Amino acid sequence: MGPVLITGGSGMIGRWLIALGRDLRDIAVLTRDPARARTRISRWIDPASVSYLDGTAADFRIDRQYHSLIHLAGDPASATFNAAKAEEYVRGVENTWRQAEKAGIARALLVSSGAVAGPHDGPITEDDRTSDESSETRAQYARSRRRAEQLVGLSPVPTVIARVFAVIGPDMSADGPLAAGQFLAAARRHQPVRVERGGAIRSYLDHVDLVRWLTTILESGAPGRVYNVGSEEAVSLAELASRIARIAGVSCAIADNSPAERYVPATTRAGQELGLRATVDLDSAIQIALTWQPRIR
């Protein structure tokens, strides 16, 4: 694979891709804060092996040739997500694919979200649509990702869409919106793992599998095709917290375990068309995440 441009490459998934994506070479990262991105990425690899572009997805210009594009830029689903962030995300996708078309990029991957399909009683397929109206924040996030998928579908740039569900791995944010990151951070500090609402059902794909899936989808996925990315092993947040606590040897406190929404993907399409499957079980993924140490300089 030739030179790769990753927008939002200093985020969690971007760091995993840069460190573990064996087929990714000559990587450039678009970031609004190159110094911070370099610091984050240096926890994994020599930052000198990556070049950095200063800007945002909504305003940057591609000034050299790249073979591939991976679009990760955008604020995560959190309590602070709002209409302005949704609009900024859509504008970022519009500009990124406009630049990609001008630059003649051969392959593009839009990393989207399982939130596009919304919660569902059973496994969620790529064709399911169930709006998450539990809050306006969630609804705005899902609409912005759905709009982005529609936009890249209209672009002449050959684009594949990876709809990522829940993931788990090292170096997750301790204070971010992902419950797994919060649980792991508490356990690593040898503190009790606390769960306010443990009834939500998720499934967790290990970071090594995630990178393998994303790079395979980029290289071999059919343009215009959507692929779910995730594990099919459903667990509640309470069970996830309990497993992390057990493996770390700390206590676990669950305040509320009443039933809540379910986000678990069906991954038949990725398996049948691309040969993808989860290979790291959840307990092993937790163990890796708990014992990982930053690279030694």
Rounded to whole angstroms, how far apart are CA atoms 76 and 55?
A: 18
Percent above pLDDT 90 for the chain: 80
Q: What residue type is 161 in one-letter code?
A: I
Q: Predicted confidence band at 1 (pLDDT cuts at 50, 70, 90)?
A: confident
| pLDDT single digits (tens) 146-175 | 999 999 999 999 999 999 999 999 999 998
Cβ burial of 64 (10 Å; 0-12, 13-18, 19+) is: exposed
Query: Lowest-confidence range among 12-26, 66-80, 119-133?
Result: 119-133
Mean pLDDT of 224-228: 97
| pLDDT single digits (tens) 53-101 | 999 999 999 988 999 999 999 988 878 889 999 999 999 999 999 999 9
Go through the chain and tell me how many residues it has: 297
Write a three-state SS string for 22-47.
CCCEEEEEEECCHHHHHHHHCCCCCH
Q: Predicted confidence band at 118 (pLDDT cuts at 50, 70, 90)?
A: confident
Rounded to whole angstroms, how far apart are CA atoms 286 and 265?
A: 20
Query: Lowest-confidence range among 133-137, 190-194, 204-208?
Result: 133-137
pLDDT of 217 above 70: yes
DSSP bridge partners of 115: none
| pLDDT single digits (tens) 23-48 | 888 999 999 999 999 999 999 998 78
Domains located in the chain, CATH noted: 3-168+204-230+264-279 (3.40.50.720)
Q: Where are the beta strands (DSSP E) in the chain?
A: 3-7, 25-31, 50-54, 68-71, 107-113, 159-164, 167-168, 193-195, 201-202, 205-206, 226-229, 235-236, 252-254
The reported pLDDT for the residue numbered 131 is: 66
The torsion region of residue 8 among left (phi > 0), alpha (psi -120 to 50) and beta comes to: left
Rounded to whole angstroms, how far apart are CA atoms 170 and 152?
A: 31
DSSP bridge partners of 10: none
